[in-house]
Structure 1
């Protein structure tokens, strides 16, 4: 049996929820679902997103 791991907002002490979130860089934006605090809006960006999709978008925009 596997345990469900949850992340808790350090500030609000509530469980983060999956939410569609807009990211902006160099005047352009993209949306993706990430864990976000429903109370204060703090966003958790997992390492694979930061090193994967976000890094690709950043590189493409800087190369333009």
Structure 2
């Protein structure tokens, strides 16, 4: 994914297709549990962008909670 600055907010672009990503509700699943999350998605190929902050922060916390059950 590539950030293209536009009017003070970056617009994320799919590295595969070159299309601008659109925020959509995606179901994220882990260990049999599913969670709806708004994430940037390529409208052409469906590739989802998960930021490093989200992956190492909130998602890692949820993963740990589920594993501790």
| TM-score bracket for this pair, using the shorter chain length | 0.7 to 0.9
SS in 2 for 1:6: strand
When normalised by structure 2's length, the TM-score is 0.81
TM-score, normalization by structure 1: 0.87
* Structure 1 unaligned residues grouped into runs of 5+: none
**Offset, 1:4:** 2.7
Q: Of residues 15, 32, 53 in structure 1, which corresponds to 2:20?
A: 15
Q: For residues 31 and 48 of structure 1, what CA distance do their matches in structure 2 show?
A: 18
Number of residue pairs the alignment of both structures matches? 63
Given candidates 30, 34, 49, the residue that maps to 1:25 is 30
The CA RMSD measured in Å over matched residues stands at 1.2
